[in-house]
Structure 1
């Protein structure tokens, strides 16, 4: 059985008898060994290569390299040869359908710069072809309605296909828009996104809010998210409006300072570990004196706790003098002033000296305005 050269070279390269060659291949591989069948297959493929090249050239000028189109057409030829069944009709017709399908699939799946549905891709090609036909017939550019009538589709479908055609080869944002190449196309679109610019600040504020005491967080939420007035906040929390104003001002000042620093500053009134919020009273002996260290805000909620601590230190401490250390007190309201005045009276009755130390500027102003600074001396 002959193996190579069975089909020979065609007398005319444009008129190969592919059906005869394919039929001889189908007959020859019956009963042939695998090696002989492979050689027959290679001979048929080589014989049909010019035919595949002609089909590929039909699609030139569409933005793809001719070499790539020929490779796709040859792949379609291989599939046609491997799947060929003489009982189903002409090999040439089958090869045309298979190779053309591969070429169309290549353009549909590999060449579009933006993903577009298959139906829109096919319609886009039909619209392009119809546009050329109608332009020649009408001597002008056809309208969308005329294209729709010619193709038998709706006008919105034609408009969608025309718009989607721009996705075949989208323009680069880095393409120059001027002859000198100084500006790029991307510079002409878009604008500054203020919301995007503030993302970092929002994340920072969110983290800092979690560091505030629960009461301050609640106040900020009620004021700036709930749009509540200071009077409404004071009524709900059971404190004075002036106290709410002071607390909000202090919280906002701390947030501003924390936003501008690398490390958040300590929250005023932080006490020892494990007792960060609220108020704490501790008593230590220093020779013949007792030091009562107050840590935290002294307001209506904590005043009685301080009153009890000071009275206990004065009456049962067994010391000649008592020092009230206000270093860690960031806020003192009228209830706190009343407690300190009560401590002065208790100390006088017990015959013990009492003084204060470390008052912060804000607390010192409260003591001065209330007149307590003249009664409770500094030490």
Structure 2
């Protein structure tokens, strides 16, 4: 990385990225991303001190701030390495970490005597964790439940080693100083982390044993149950002969002629009585239906 002192007689020097160096007393940084760790640390401190003296929104402010960001992008990539095996694209993680870097630059207090990297790294990793917390859960889970999930998992590991067996909910609750309901809520929150496809096989890869095949379906016969329960009081109000005709026709499955012989009436009379009874029941159902 080439760093040259700013000469008062030079015209505005430009970096490789085409930015203009507006600071008369600061070095020109040709390629901030190629700076070594020591160079980046030294330049960052001096640039942030100068940044606090600049008016926000000016060209000088934008130049210094952008240079500090580029000097510390390696810190973002370093923090992102721990998530390289996650299912979130690395570009998204780095982009989110860069937002954390910018927040750290804006909040950093040079008077506290703390190195910028010491302050910035927790801010960067915090943004990355927020990305995973807010966007990678299959269901929206309150932050408290997510924290309980982590605490329950860690507490279970500690107690398993200490007890030599799986701890009970009561033991976990006492260990974590929470209620048993909170322990169960934390354990249940783990189920919302990911979602399985309904087409995914559940038994040995058998495609016929998918989760969807195990889900309940709407039984069309349930509507018949409702109709029967609605008809029961209406049938009870019918005369005895009409009730017997209904029983012989729909339970005994006799023909109208056979019903007529059982009751000693003609098939025509059975037909009329049956039609009148059914119409009466339909009317009764219509009156009771909202």
TM-score, length of structure 2 as denominator length? 0.60
Q: SS in structure 2 opposite 1:194?
A: coil
When residues 250 and 142 of structure 1 are mapped into structure 2, their CA distance, relative to the original with a 3 A threshold, is: closer
Higher relative contact order (CA 8 A, sep 6+): 2
When residues 22 and 196 of structure 1 are mapped into structure 2, their CA distance, relative to the original with a 3 A threshold, is: farther
- Distance in 2, matches of 1:149 and 1:12, equals 48
Unpaired stretches in structure 1, ≥5 consecutive residues: 206-221, 235-241, 254-379
Correspondences of 1:1-379 after superposition (within 5 Å): 1=24, 2=26, 4-5=28-29, 9-11=35-37, 17=41, 21-22=44-45, 24-28=47-51, 30-31=53-54, 34-59=58-83, 61=85, 63-86=87-110, 90=114, 91-178=116-203, 181-195=206-220, 198=223, 226=234, 228-231=236-239, 246-249=275-278
Residue 179 of structure 1, CA deviation: 5.3
Q: SS in structure 2 opposite 1:171?
A: coil
When residues 225 and 103 of structure 1 are mapped into structure 2, their CA distance, relative to the original with a 3 A threshold, is: farther
Pairs aligned (count): 224
- Distance in 1, matches of 2:170 and 2:138, equals 28
When residues 166 and 10 of structure 1 are mapped into structure 2, their CA distance, relative to the original with a 3 A threshold, is: same
- Distance in 1, matches of 2:83 and 2:231, equals 69
When residues 31 and 250 of structure 1 are mapped into structure 2, their CA distance, relative to the original with a 3 A threshold, is: closer
When residues 178 and 190 of structure 1 are mapped into structure 2, their CA distance, relative to the original with a 3 A threshold, is: closer
More strand by proportion, 1 or 2? 1
TM-score, length of structure 1 as denominator length? 0.47
Q: Which shows bigger deviation, 66-75 or 102-111? A: 66-75
When residues 60 and 223 of structure 1 are mapped into structure 2, their CA distance, relative to the original with a 3 A threshold, is: closer
* CA deviation profile, 1:115-173 (whole Å, cap 9, x unmatched): 21210011112222333344445554444333323322122211221122011012221
Unpaired stretches in structure 2, ≥5 consecutive residues: 1-23, 243-269, 283-290
When residues 36 and 144 of structure 1 are mapped into structure 2, their CA distance, relative to the original with a 3 A threshold, is: same
Q: Tell me if the contact between 1:176 and 1:183 (Cα under 8 Å) persists in the aligned partners.
A: yes
Residue 246 of structure 1, CA deviation: 5.0
Q: Tell me if the contact between 2:159 and 2:166 (Cα under 8 Å) persists in the aligned partners.
A: yes
Q: SS in structure 2 opposite 1:71?
A: helix
More helix by proportion, 1 or 2? 2
* CA deviation profile, 1:268-297 (whole Å, cap 9, x unmatched): xxxxxxxxxxxxxxxxxxxxxxxxxxxxxx
* CA deviation profile, 1:248-268 (whole Å, cap 9, x unmatched): 235679xxxxxxxxxxxxxxx
- Distance in 2, matches of 1:145 and 1:108, equals 28
When residues 31 and 153 of structure 1 are mapped into structure 2, their CA distance, relative to the original with a 3 A threshold, is: closer
Q: Tell me if the contact between 2:51 and 2:65 (Cα under 8 Å) persists in the aligned partners.
A: no
